[in-house]
Amino acid sequence: MSDPQKTFPVSWEELHRNAKALAWRLIEQGPFNGIVAVTRGGLVPAAIIARELDVRLIDTVCMQSYSDDHAQGQIKVLKEVPGDGEGWLIIDDLVDTGRTARVVRDMLPKAHFATIYAKPSGRPLVDTFVTEVSQDTWIYFPWDIELQFAQPIAKQKRG
Protein backbone atom coordinates (compact mmCIF):
# COMPACT_ATOMS: atom_id res chain seq x y z
CA MET A 1 0.00 0.00 0.00
CA SER A 2 2.25 2.79 -1.20
CA ASP A 3 -0.44 5.51 -1.52
CA PRO A 4 -3.18 5.10 1.07
CA GLN A 5 -6.45 6.90 0.38
CA LYS A 6 -7.25 7.40 4.08
CA THR A 7 -5.25 7.55 7.27
CA PHE A 8 -6.30 6.51 10.75
CA PRO A 9 -4.03 7.71 13.58
CA VAL A 10 -4.28 5.66 16.78
CA SER A 11 -3.34 7.16 20.16
CA TRP A 12 -1.73 5.24 23.00
CA GLU A 13 -5.00 5.47 24.96
CA GLU A 14 -7.04 4.16 22.04
CA LEU A 15 -4.62 1.29 21.45
CA HIS A 16 -4.74 0.35 25.14
CA ARG A 17 -8.56 0.51 25.17
CA ASN A 18 -8.81 -1.64 22.01
CA ALA A 19 -6.25 -4.17 23.28
CA LYS A 20 -8.26 -4.49 26.49
CA ALA A 21 -11.45 -4.93 24.42
CA LEU A 22 -9.66 -7.72 22.53
CA ALA A 23 -8.73 -9.34 25.85
CA TRP A 24 -12.42 -9.31 26.85
CA ARG A 25 -13.25 -11.16 23.62
CA LEU A 26 -10.45 -13.67 24.21
CA ILE A 27 -11.11 -14.52 27.86
CA GLU A 28 -13.69 -17.19 26.93
CA GLN A 29 -11.36 -18.71 24.30
CA GLY A 30 -8.64 -19.61 26.82
CA PRO A 31 -6.90 -20.41 28.93
CA PHE A 32 -3.86 -20.20 26.68
CA ASN A 33 -0.48 -21.85 27.23
CA GLY A 34 1.18 -18.65 26.11
CA ILE A 35 1.16 -15.80 23.64
CA VAL A 36 3.10 -15.47 20.40
CA ALA A 37 3.54 -11.82 19.48
CA VAL A 38 4.13 -11.04 15.80
CA THR A 39 6.92 -8.47 15.73
CA ARG A 40 7.04 -5.67 15.81
CA GLY A 41 3.45 -4.50 15.73
CA GLY A 42 2.13 -7.23 17.99
CA LEU A 43 4.53 -6.57 20.87
CA VAL A 44 2.64 -3.78 22.65
CA PRO A 45 -0.82 -5.36 22.21
CA ALA A 46 0.60 -8.71 23.39
CA ALA A 47 1.94 -7.11 26.58
CA ILE A 48 -1.46 -5.59 27.38
CA ILE A 49 -3.34 -8.79 26.56
CA ALA A 50 -0.87 -10.92 28.53
CA ARG A 51 -1.54 -8.77 31.59
CA GLU A 52 -5.31 -8.91 31.17
CA LEU A 53 -5.41 -12.68 30.58
CA ASP A 54 -2.73 -13.35 33.23
CA VAL A 55 -0.46 -15.08 30.71
CA ARG A 56 3.21 -15.19 31.73
CA LEU A 57 4.76 -17.09 28.82
CA ILE A 58 5.35 -14.90 25.77
CA ASP A 59 7.31 -15.75 22.63
CA THR A 60 7.75 -13.98 19.31
CA VAL A 61 7.51 -14.70 15.63
CA CYS A 62 9.74 -12.14 13.99
CA MET A 63 8.64 -10.96 10.55
CA GLN A 64 9.56 -8.16 8.21
CA SER A 65 7.08 -7.18 5.53
CA TYR A 66 6.73 -3.38 5.28
CA SER A 67 9.29 -0.90 4.02
CA ASP A 68 9.58 2.69 5.27
CA ASP A 69 7.38 3.96 2.41
CA HIS A 70 4.41 1.76 3.51
CA ALA A 71 4.95 -0.66 0.63
CA GLN A 72 4.48 -4.29 1.53
CA GLY A 73 7.51 -6.13 0.25
CA GLN A 74 8.69 -9.70 0.39
CA ILE A 75 8.01 -11.30 3.75
CA LYS A 76 11.10 -12.34 5.65
CA VAL A 77 10.79 -14.74 8.57
CA LEU A 78 13.53 -13.73 11.00
CA LYS A 79 12.50 -16.03 13.90
CA GLU A 80 10.01 -18.89 14.12
CA VAL A 81 8.30 -20.64 17.02
CA PRO A 82 8.44 -24.44 17.28
CA GLY A 83 5.30 -26.57 17.31
CA ASP A 84 1.89 -26.26 15.68
CA GLY A 85 0.51 -23.58 18.01
CA GLU A 86 -1.98 -25.76 19.88
CA GLY A 87 -3.08 -23.93 23.02
CA TRP A 88 -1.31 -20.72 22.02
CA LEU A 89 -2.61 -17.26 21.21
CA ILE A 90 -1.08 -15.27 18.34
CA ILE A 91 -1.33 -11.49 18.73
CA ASP A 92 -0.69 -8.86 16.06
CA ASP A 93 -1.73 -5.24 15.80
CA LEU A 94 -3.31 -5.57 12.36
CA VAL A 95 -4.15 -7.98 9.58
CA ASP A 96 -3.92 -6.08 6.29
CA THR A 97 -3.66 -8.01 3.02
CA GLY A 98 -3.24 -11.26 4.91
CA ARG A 99 0.18 -12.06 3.48
CA THR A 100 1.97 -11.95 6.84
CA ALA A 101 -0.97 -13.60 8.60
CA ARG A 102 -0.89 -16.46 6.09
CA VAL A 103 2.79 -17.15 6.86
CA VAL A 104 2.11 -17.11 10.61
CA ARG A 105 -1.07 -19.18 10.24
CA ASP A 106 0.81 -21.79 8.19
CA MET A 107 3.56 -21.84 10.83
CA LEU A 108 1.13 -22.25 13.78
CA PRO A 109 -2.09 -23.67 12.31
CA LYS A 110 -3.65 -24.72 15.62
CA ALA A 111 -3.14 -21.39 17.43
CA HIS A 112 -5.91 -18.86 18.01
CA PHE A 113 -5.04 -15.76 15.94
CA ALA A 114 -6.21 -12.35 17.19
CA THR A 115 -5.58 -8.80 16.03
CA ILE A 116 -6.83 -5.43 17.15
CA TYR A 117 -7.52 -4.16 13.63
CA ALA A 118 -8.57 -6.11 10.54
CA LYS A 119 -8.89 -5.10 6.91
CA PRO A 120 -11.26 -7.02 4.62
CA SER A 121 -8.56 -8.86 2.63
CA GLY A 122 -6.95 -10.37 5.73
CA ARG A 123 -9.95 -10.72 8.00
CA PRO A 124 -10.70 -14.38 7.12
CA LEU A 125 -7.25 -15.39 8.43
CA VAL A 126 -7.84 -14.24 12.02
CA ASP A 127 -10.15 -15.79 14.59
CA THR A 128 -10.82 -12.67 16.66
CA PHE A 129 -10.45 -8.92 16.08
CA VAL A 130 -11.89 -5.70 17.50
CA THR A 131 -12.17 -3.10 14.73
CA GLU A 132 -12.49 -3.44 10.97
CA VAL A 133 -11.04 -0.68 8.79
CA SER A 134 -11.29 -0.27 5.03
CA GLN A 135 -8.59 -1.75 2.83
CA ASP A 136 -7.51 1.69 1.58
CA THR A 137 -6.82 3.03 5.09
CA TRP A 138 -3.29 3.32 6.49
CA ILE A 139 -3.23 2.98 10.27
CA TYR A 140 -0.66 5.11 12.07
CA PHE A 141 0.17 3.39 15.34
CA PRO A 142 1.37 5.50 18.28
CA TRP A 143 4.93 4.15 18.06
CA ASP A 144 5.12 5.43 14.45
CA ILE A 145 3.96 9.02 14.95
CA GLU A 146 4.70 12.23 16.85
CA LEU A 147 2.33 15.01 17.79
CA GLN A 148 2.42 17.89 15.31
CA PHE A 149 0.17 20.51 13.75
CA ALA A 150 -2.45 19.16 11.36
CA GLN A 151 -4.23 21.20 8.69
CA PRO A 152 -8.02 21.43 9.09
CA ILE A 153 -9.85 19.08 6.71
CA ALA A 154 -11.38 21.99 4.79
CA LYS A 155 -7.92 23.40 4.01
CA GLN A 156 -6.67 19.96 2.96
CA LYS A 157 -9.54 19.65 0.48
CA ARG A 158 -8.78 23.07 -1.06
CA GLY A 159 -5.08 22.35 -1.51
Catalytic: which of 93, 127, 136, 144? 93
For residue 84, indicate whether it is catalytic.
no
Dist CA 10 CA 155 (whole Å): 22
For residue 93, indicate whether it is catalytic.
yes
Dist CA 154 CA 51 (whole Å): 42
Whether 20 and 74 have beta carbons less than 8 Å apart is answered as no
Q: Say whether 40 counts as a known binding-site residue.
A: yes
Whether 114 and 130 have beta carbons less than 8 Å apart is answered as no
Q: Say whether 139 counts as a known binding-site residue.
A: yes
Catalytic: which of 96, 106, 127, 144? 96
Catalytic: which of 92, 106, 127, 136? 92
CB atoms within 10 A of CB 64: 14
For residue 96, indicate whether it is catalytic.
yes
- Residues with catalytic function: 92-93, 96
**Residues in binding site for guanine:** 96, 139
**Residues in binding site for 5-phospho-alpha-D-ribose 1-diphosphate:** 40-41, 92-100
